[in-house]
Amino acid sequence: MSIRPILRYPHPLLKKICRPVERIDSEILTLIADLIDTMREGPGSVGVAASQVGVTLRLCVVDVSQSKLGKECNHGLLVLINPEVLSSEGAATMREGCMSVPDYTGDVERPTKILLRYTDEKDTLRHVTAEGFEAVAIQHEMDHLDGLLFLDRISSLKSGLFRRKSYR
């Protein structure tokens, strides 16, 4: 379909809480295809949320299968419509980056295992247990749906935020 421009912090739409997707129609399917294209074109990107392209709907895509961190444990391409974390466990701090904050990365603590409920692009309700890097990537994208950036999750901007040396 097409690659959409990514909004950059501090764009106000990045702080908006997204509204639920009411029905999956041709407009939503086009948005999904565009999100997938945008994610795949982004340098090192493993996910993108609709709000990052200016659409404030509870929709994101995640695919960590091509990342060295997610290669061993993943569900492939996930299209997450109205996703909810039902339970979580564990905790780990990982370095996160974001196409909406391209010049920085940060250390963020998140659960390492989540049980997720969402609707897919075929309007099927699904449940998935995600672990490790995939769980982190899903939570990162879901944060966008709640108007949060990884910057909001860093405990100390002084010691937990880093200028990106290069974007890979």
Percentage of the chain modeled with pLDDT above 70: 98
The Cα–Cα gap between 34 and 42 comes to 12
Residue 166 confidence (pLDDT): 66
pLDDT tens-digit readout, 59-110: 999 999 999 999 999 999 999 999 999 999 999 999 999 999 999 999 999 9
Residue 14 confidence (pLDDT): 98
Six-digit token string for 151: 């910057």
Residue 59 confidence (pLDDT): 98
Identify whether the C-beta of residue 109 lies closer than 8 Å to the C-beta of residue 92.
Answer: yes
Residue 112 confidence (pLDDT): 97
Closest CA to 39 of 10, 11, 69, 63: 63
Residue 167 confidence (pLDDT): 54
Q: Where are the domains of the chain?
A: 12-163
Helix H or strand E encompassing 47: strand 47-49
Helix H or strand E encompassing 31: helix 26-41
Q: What residue type is assigned to position 132 of the chain?
A: G
Residue 153 confidence (pLDDT): 95
Q: Residue 157 — pLDDT band, cuts 50, 70, 90?
A: confident
DSSP readout, 84-153?
A: EEEEEE--EEEEEEETTEEEEEEEEEE-SEEEEEEE-TTS-EEEEEEEHHHHHHHHHHHHHHTT--GGGG
Average pLDDT, the chain: 95
The Cα–Cα gap between 27 and 47 comes to 20
Q: In Å, how far are 38, 73, 131, 133, 137 from 56, measured between CA atoms?
A: 16, 30, 27, 25, 19
What's the pTM?
Answer: 0.96
The Cα–Cα gap between 165 and 168 comes to 10
pLDDT tens-digit readout, 23-51: 999 999 999 999 999 999 998 899 999 99
The answer to whether residue 141 is catalytic is yes
The Cα–Cα gap between 37 and 18 comes to 21
Residue 51 confidence (pLDDT): 98
Average pLDDT of the segment spanning 114-118 = 98
CATH number for the domain formed by residue range(s) 12-163: 3.90.45.10
In sequence order, which residues have a C-beta less than 8 Å from that of residue 52 and are 6 or more positions away?
6, 7, 14, 99, 100, 144
